[in-house]
Amino acid sequence: MRTNVSRDCIITTFSIVAADLATGDLGIAVASKFLACGAVVPWASAGAGAVATQSFANTAYGPDGIRMMRDGLSAQDALAKLLAGDADRDLRQVGLVDARGGAAAHTGPGCHAWAGHHVGEGFACQGNILVGQETVDAMAAALRAAKGELSGRLVTALAAGDKAGGDKRGKQASAVYVVRPKGGYGGMNDVLVDLRVDDHPEPVAELRRLLALRNLYFGTSPVAEKLKIEGAVLVDLKRLMTARGFYRGDASGPWDEATEKAIDAFIASENFEERVDLKQRTIDAPVLMHLRAQA
């Protein structure tokens, strides 16, 4: 195991790693009074596991832990091997979750107070240089109570930890990283969500805003909630496109080739190709609401 201890690089952090067995999602959310903590702490690989490495962070814990879990080790067994090979284990803090939902965490006695962790079914919360234990306990409770996709639940948990006290030195950065098999853009990779706030006075609140935008652009609506582009919806879109210079025809006219070309160009200009289906002639309701609000 490689080690790289520097007293000048303390990742004073609160984070959460978790698995969603229903979707195969694995992810981490993290916040810290440390510039760009999202570049150091979170590691995850679809079908293997997720790792949050912090305190006097050993970044080798990320790829090494993931490799061990991909090879079949549980989070607990992978953690034991990581620590056994690290002479500076007493300075480390790390949380792991494997693809089967097993979770484990370690807080070395050399971590600065308050430091500790909370391990539950399918997740682990950990933090150091915190106001107190209430931060990790609040994250655990919030994750258990939250509904919806893992990315949103992780950020909800992070916000609860922030509200409970968080890093006692203040706020600076945050991140959320979630993987899912073929969950990336166009199904070409496994990175479902990768958002970072590197330097901001309210990094967790800003992370929530970015996640909401990510969900607006790349989320999906159930088939039953998709709106047919016809009737009042079609008229509304034509009026919006006319105001933006994409359409010059009759707003009350039927769907035709000119209408389809105009909608295609308009939607592309707004980056909503993922949420409008010209073949089925549908648009997701949140997208139409956003376009109306912009107008």
Question: What are the chain's domains?
Answer: 10-218 (3.60.20.10), 223-294 (1.10.101)
Residue 3: is its pLDDT beyond 60? Answer: no
User: Residue range 82-89: average pLDDT?
Assistant: 97
210-261: per-residue pLDDT in tens?
999 999 999 988 998 899 999 999 999 999 999 999 999 999 999 999 999 9
Global pTM value: 0.92
- Give residue 118's identity as a one-letter amino acid code: H
Average pLDDT over the chain reads 94
* Length of the chain (residues): 295
Residues ≥6 apart with Cβ < 8 Å to 41: 11, 13, 15, 28, 30, 32, 52, 53, 54, 57, 175
What is the structure's pLDDT at 66? 98
Q: Phi and psi of 167, rounded to 5°?
A: -65, 125
Share above pLDDT 70 across residues of the chain, in percent, rounded to a whole number: 96
Q: Which residue has the higher pLDDT, 253 or 75?
A: 75
- What's the CA gap between 1 and 148, in Å, rounded? 37
Element (H, E) at 203: helix 203-218
What is the structure's pLDDT at 9? 54
What is the structure's pLDDT at 158? 98
User: Residue range 264-293: average pLDDT?
Assistant: 96
- Give residue 163's identity as a one-letter amino acid code: K
Residue 5: is its pLDDT beyond 60? Answer: no
Residue 1: is its pLDDT beyond 60? Answer: no
